[in-house]
Amino acid sequence: MKALRTDLDLKQSDVAQKLGISASVYGNYEQDKRSPDYKTLAKICVFYHVSADYLLDVPTENGCFSSLSGTLRSMHPADQQRVSEYAEMLYFYRTHKK
């Protein structure tokens, strides 16, 4: 969660306020000293635009793609566009390489 928050240039208190919890409780979530209840977990997922599986680090069939998807959703839109353009360029290069 810390990486998601810092990628958005937010403080713990900013996120805590949006979630309706104290900054110290949110800090405990980031440090794995405390786990959120289901309702708060859902709020965190919605806030960061990620799945609960991503936050809980649950392995999936897609492996890195699930993680990448969560990372992309937490990025600034301009950076998302850059990643998309790079992926298209890489795909084009790989499929047209002789």
Following DSSP, what letter does each residue of 33-89 receive, concatenated? SS---HHHHHHHHHHHT--HHHHHT---TTTHHHHHHHHHHHS-HHHHHHHHHHHHH
Set out the domains of the chain in order of their start, with CATH numbers.
Answer: 2-96 (1.10.260)
Rounded mean pLDDT of 70-91? 83
Q: Find the mean pLDDT for residues 55-60.
A: 75
pTM recorded for the entire structure:
0.62
pLDDT at 64: 57
How many Å apart are CA 49 and CA 8, to the nearest integer?
12
Residue-wise pLDDT for 34-53, tens only, equals: 999 999 999 999 998 888 88
pLDDT bin (cut points 50, 70, 90) of residue 66 is low
Tens of pLDDT along 81-91? Answer: 888 888 888 87
> CA-to-CA distance for 92 and 86, rounded, in angstroms?
10
